[in-house]
Amino acid sequence: MVRVDRIEAALFDFSGTLFRLEEDDSWFHGIEVDERQIDGHVQAELMRRMTAPTGQHVDMPPDAHHAWINRDLAPHLHREAYLHVLRESGVADHQAEALYGLLIDPLNWTSYPDTAGVLEGLHSQGIKTAVVSNIAFDVRPAFESIGAAEFVHEFVLSFEVGAVKPDAAIFQTALDRLDVQAARAVMVGDSDEADGGARALGCGFVLVDPLPTAERHDGLRAALTDYGVQL
C-alpha cells in the first residue's frame, strides 16, 4: 500500500462505509412478496438489492435499465429504478412506495460506531474530509443527527455534481473543493470498483467491509491507522 508522510484529506463513501441502512422489522409488517408473507431471508435479499453499490439484480427492459444506470444522477431516476427493483422482486406497488420512502430517509440510516469519532479526530488534526457518494438524496441530515456534520468539510454527492463513481470527475471535484492534491488524499470505501476509482487520480485507497454496524466497531479507525493516519 502506497502511503505519504502527511495526509491532508480523507474522502469517504457513505453507504457501507460511514453509515448503513439497517432495516427495522416493522418496515416489513404486512408486506408480501409474490402474495406471500415476507420472511427473514427474503427481507435480507430485498435490502441487499436496495443497497448494493454495483450490479443489477433483476431483469430490466431498456427504460428501466436506463433509469438504473443513471439512478444516482437524478432523484426521479433513482425512484424509478428502485421501485422497479422492488416490483420485480414481487412487492406490490403501494408497498414498494412505502419501502422506498424509508430507504431515502437519511434519518433511517445507522452510523458505524466509530464514524463520528473518526471524523472529529481527523478534523482536530487539520485533515480535511469529504463525503463522496453515489446517491440521489441529501445525506447531510444523517451527519447532523450524530453531531458530525461540522466535521465534514464537503459533501460531494453524485446527484448534485453530475458525476458517478468510479468516474474520476467526482473525486476531482472533491479534491478541488478541498484544495488538496490527489497524492495527499486517501479514499475510504466499501467498493473496490466504485470507490477505488480514486486511484486513477493518484489518491490512496483503503477498503472497508460493509458489515452490519454491530459487527464493525472500529473498521474506519483501523483502516486509516493501517494507512498511517493516527487517530
Asked whether residue 59 is assigned to any structural domain, the reply reads yes
Range of the domain at 43: 25-107
Residues 192/26, Cβ–Cβ less than 8 Å: no
Cell of 57: 439484480
Domain count along the chain: 2
Average pLDDT, the chain: 91
Residue 95 sits in the same domain as residue 32? yes
Least confident of 41-45, 132-136, 161-165: 41-45
Residue 175 sits in the same domain as residue 98? no
Q: Residue 158: count other Cβ atoms within 10 Å of its Cβ.
A: 23
Residue 151 sits in the same domain as residue 188? yes
CA 193 – CA 2 distance, rounded (Å): 18
Residues 21/47, Cβ–Cβ less than 8 Å: yes
Residue 41 sits in the same domain as residue 92? yes
Last residue of a domain, one of 57, 79, 107: 107
Reply yes or no on whether the pLDDT at 174 is more than 90: yes
The CATH number of whichever domain residue 171 belongs to comes to: 3.40.50.1000
Reply yes or no on whether the pLDDT at 176 is more than 60: yes
Residue 121 sits in the same domain as residue 13? yes
Least confident of 21-35, 81-95, 133-147, 217-231: 21-35
Residue 159 sits in the same domain as residue 198? yes
Residue 178 sits in the same domain as residue 97? no
Q: pLDDT category, 216, cuts 50, 70, 90?
A: very high
CA 28 – CA 25 distance, rounded (Å): 6
Start-end of H helices in 89-114: 93-103
Asked whether residue 3 is assigned to any structural domain, the reply reads no
Model's pTM, two decimal places? Answer: 0.89
Residues 198/178, Cβ–Cβ less than 8 Å: no
Model pLDDT for residues 52-62, shown as the tens digit of each residue: 656 677 788 89
Reply yes or no on whether the pLDDT at 2 is more than 50: no
CA 31 – CA 41 distance, rounded (Å): 14
Reply yes or no on whether the pLDDT at 3 is more than 60: no
Reply yes or no on whether the pLDDT at 147 is more than 70: yes
Last residue of a domain, one of 107, 128, 149: 107
Residue 94 sits in the same domain as residue 167? no
Reply yes or no on whether the pLDDT at 15 is more than 70: yes
Asked whether residue 2 is assigned to any structural domain, the reply reads no
Q: Is 27 helix (H, G, I), strand (E, B) or coil?
A: helix
Highest mean pLDDT among 19-33, 53-67, 115-129: 115-129
Last residue of a domain, one of 91, 107, 123: 107
